[in-house]
Amino acid sequence: MSRVSVVGSLHLDILVEAPRLPLSDETLAGRSWSQKCGGKGGNQAVAAARFGASCAMGGRIGDDDFGRRLRDHLLAAGVDASCVETDPSAGSGMSVAIQESNGEYGAVIVSGANLTIDPDVIARDWAALWRGDVLMLQNEVPEAVNLAAAKAARAAGSRVMMNAAPARALPAPLLPLIDILVLNRLEAAQMTGLPVGSSQDVARAAQALHRGGQDLVITMGGDGLHLTTAAGASEFQAAFRSKLVSAHGAGDCFCGALAARVALGDDIKQACMFAQAAAALFVAATPREQMELSADRVETFLEHAR
């Protein structure tokens, strides 16, 4: 089976449902709250396993109840967590996400143990991760960790996929190691300083971000995505129609599905189409239904959509 490795964050999410985001100094009454295992790294690892790849993860949790729940969640999804370390002193990462009545959300993260990964030892200690077909990274761990992981994976012949979220300037030494760069249009705007209100705006942002030899994917939610291939060809892919229940975690679902399909041998266009279908099913599903999504479900969805 094709293999995806993930180095990234693990957070226990506290999800609050409210009519909207509160204003500054405002106390707003919410409707309900729940807990969910997350972090971009953890979410993307689970999605990659759910959509057909063998997946292993490297990360760091605290010696606490949150950390135990995060590890158990990975194992229950079939993710190899042997490279998930336990920090004896730092607490596990967590986030508070507020989901609005229209399904959109905003979140605040507290990274905790995610920031204590030692970049100087992971090339050796996490050697099992570098043998994958695709290594997936995000911006919720220190830059030095991403750089060390990318170097180790590239040296072992793995492709490197970077989800530049949350948005921040990528360090110059990391840029030539990235084979696939994925970000949403808000992150594209933050990284380029360009507007992204229209498809033409997104195309201009893509032109500013694209590097030769690198596939670039800018996701646009319900408006689809813009793809620039390694060879420089660009196109828009329309989104699949879907009823929005919750957008929370949809970007991670997309990234995990994309990595799984690239590892399984799809070209980038095919992989993007599959990942968009997976995200469309994800945003229309309840949390329980999201756990039951699979590659077969996505393939069936695509067959009916064609």
pLDDT digits (tens, 9 = 90+) for 22-52: 999 999 999 999 998 999 999 999 999 999 9
**306 pLDDT higher than 90:** no
CB of 236 closer than 8 Å to CB of 201: no
Closest CA to 15 of 202, 287, 254: 287
- Tens digit of each residue's pLDDT (9 = 90 or more) over 135-157: 999 999 999 999 999 999 999 99
SS3 content of the chain, % helix, strand, coil (to 5): 40, 25, 35
Helix-then-strand count for the chain, H and E:
10, 13
**124 pLDDT higher than 80:** yes
What's the rounded mean pLDDT across residues 190-206? 95
- Sorted by where each starts, the structural domains of the chain and their CATH numbers stand as 3-8+40-91+117-305 (3.40.1190.20)
pTM of this structure: 0.92
